Amino acid sequence: MRRSFKLFTIFNIPIEINISWFIILSLIVFTLARGYFPYTNPELSTTSHWLMALIAALLLFASLLAHEMAHSLVAIKHQLPIHGITLFVFGGVAQLEKEPDSPAVEFRMAIAGPIMSFSLAVLFFSLTKTFYNLGLPSPILAITNYLFMLNLVVGMFNLIPGFPLDGGRVLRSILWAWFKDLRRATKIASAFGKTFAFVLIAFGLFNLFSGAFVSGIWFIFIGLFLHEAAGSSYRQVAMKKLLSGTKVAAMMTKNVITVPAEITLDKLVDDYFFKYRHATFPIMTDDNIIGLVTFHDIKEVTKEKWSTTTAQDIMIPLIHDFVIDAQADVMEAMPILARNGLGRALIIENKKLIGILSQKDILQLFKFKSAIGGK
Ligand SMILES: [Zn+2]
């Protein structure tokens, strides 16, 4: 279920790539090899165009990484730990463990990325000039010139004041300093983000219908991505305001139904999954939880083997991320539930299972609390 994987680690920060990036990378290479470079360098062969496209795309990737590193290094300087950097569409996301705690820190962090992109644009512009004066071959010039333009575009695009783009974060930090209310500032900044997303999608559709398919798809894709990001970033801040301070013990479902390790799958399905309609059950042997069994894993086993396969045979062993202490804050539990792949975790008190907590439970409480206007 992981949609990102790790590339390497730099300054102690793991760098991850989201699978969406491969779609983007192919799109960039294709656009460059078939559209852009044949236009700038018509004298070169198709093979050269593809090679140039690949080099340019990788350098673009390095530029985007530098942009994210700039954000991350400012964050680290202000004692905000970074889990890692995940590269998405136009840039990436530095996974912050916590949000900046003052408008000034947020402002500095947000502006660092575009400053890096503009510096790179200046660098590639100077390189193009120097290479030209030195009389270097035209493919090299075409590549550095492309990177000059793209870094300029990335810098400007990110400065658009729609949250969670960098410009939106800058806007939020200013509103935050003004209103002294993070939630209100985020709400306005993400409304800008959503509006801008609609503009992008509309522009993309317009392109699509007027025959510019590739750029049309580009704009629609980025618009959808931004719209989703604006919504979820606001939800996160609103949730934090409403739910932080709540202990997981207060939200969990009590009286957890457990299953014996040696139960066969046919019995497990009839007596537990159909009866209680939960998606996951903890597995017990002599008072100890040893793992979890999910309906999804049962479906992986062919029906003929259900009478000879036990729950223990197909269980997910109990790892760190499946267990949360009863006294933990809900806001600490959220990232664990999001990353453990199950969307739920067992709640433990004094090494004893006392409940189970799912992302759905938290969302439900959030909906109720926001409907009645918070605490
Ligand atoms: Zn940025």
* Contact (Cβ atoms closer than 8 angstroms) between residue 322 and residue 345: yes
In this prediction, residue 28 has a pLDDT band, given cuts at 50, 70 and 90, of confident
Structure tokens given for 204: 């993309």
Query: Ligand 1: distance of its center to the CA of 92 in Å?
Result: 7
- Quick one: pLDDT at residue 145? 94
Query: Ligand 1: distance of its center to the CA of 117 in Å?
Result: 9
3-state secondary structure 68-91: HHHHHHHHHHCCCCEEEEEECCCC
Is position 266 annotated in a ligand binding site? no
Helices 138-159, 103-134: axis angle to 10 degrees equals 160
Query: Ligand 1: distance of its center to the CA of 208 in Å?
Result: 28
Query: Ligand 1: distance of its center to the CA of 176 in Å?
Result: 19
Read off the pLDDT of each residue in 207-213 and give the average, rounded to a whole number: 87
Place of tokens 């009645």: 372
Contacts of 227 (CB under 8 A, 6+ apart): 193, 194, 197, 198, 201
Considering the segment(s) 248-371 as one domain, its CATH architecture is: Roll (3.10)
Query: Ligand 1: distance of its center to the CA of 226 in Å?
Result: 13
Give the start-to-end residue ranges of the domains of the chain.
4-243, 248-371
What is the C-alpha separation between 65 and 87, in angstroms, rounded? 8
- Residues with Cβ–ion distance below 5 A, ligand 1: 91, 113, 158, 166
Query: Ligand 1: distance of its center to the CA of 161 in Å?
Result: 12
- Quick one: pLDDT at residue 93? 61
Distance linking the first and last C-alpha atoms of the chain: 35
16, 43, 68, 97: the active-site residue:
68
> What does pTM read for this prediction?
0.68
Structure confidence by residue, pLDDT tens digits, 156-184: 988 988 888 889 999 999 999 999 888 88
Structure confidence by residue, pLDDT tens digits, 183-197: 888 889 989 989 999
Structure tokens given for 211: 């025959």
- Quick one: pLDDT at residue 375? 42
- Quick one: pLDDT at residue 98? 67
- Quick one: pLDDT at residue 1? 37
Decide if pLDDT at 47 tops 80.
yes
- Quick one: pLDDT at residue 89? 55
- Name the residue type at position 124: F
Residue 262 a catalytic site member: no
- Quick one: pLDDT at residue 174? 94
Structure confidence by residue, pLDDT tens digits, 233-285: 787 777 777 777 888 888 888 888 888 888 998 888 888 888 888 888 888 88
Decide if pLDDT at 97 tops 90.
no
Torsion angles phi and psi, residue 122, rounded to 5: -60, -45
- Quick one: pLDDT at residue 95? 62
Is position 67 annotated in a ligand binding site? yes
Beta bridge partners of 285: 288
- Quick one: pLDDT at residue 171? 93
Query: Ligand 1: distance of its center to the CA of 115 in Å?
Result: 9
Query: Ligand 1: distance of its center to the CA of 102 in Å?
Result: 18
Decide if pLDDT at 26 tops 50.
yes
Structure tokens given for 337: 């539930």
Is position 78 annotated in a ligand binding site? no
In this prediction, residue 353 has a pLDDT band, given cuts at 50, 70 and 90, of confident
Under DSSP, the state recorded for 315 is P
Read off the pLDDT of each residue in 96-115 and give the average, rounded to a whole number: 85
| Of the candidate ranges 9-23, 38-52, 343-357, the one whose mean pLDDT is the lowest | 9-23
Query: Ligand 1: distance of its center to the CA of 26 in Å?
Result: 22
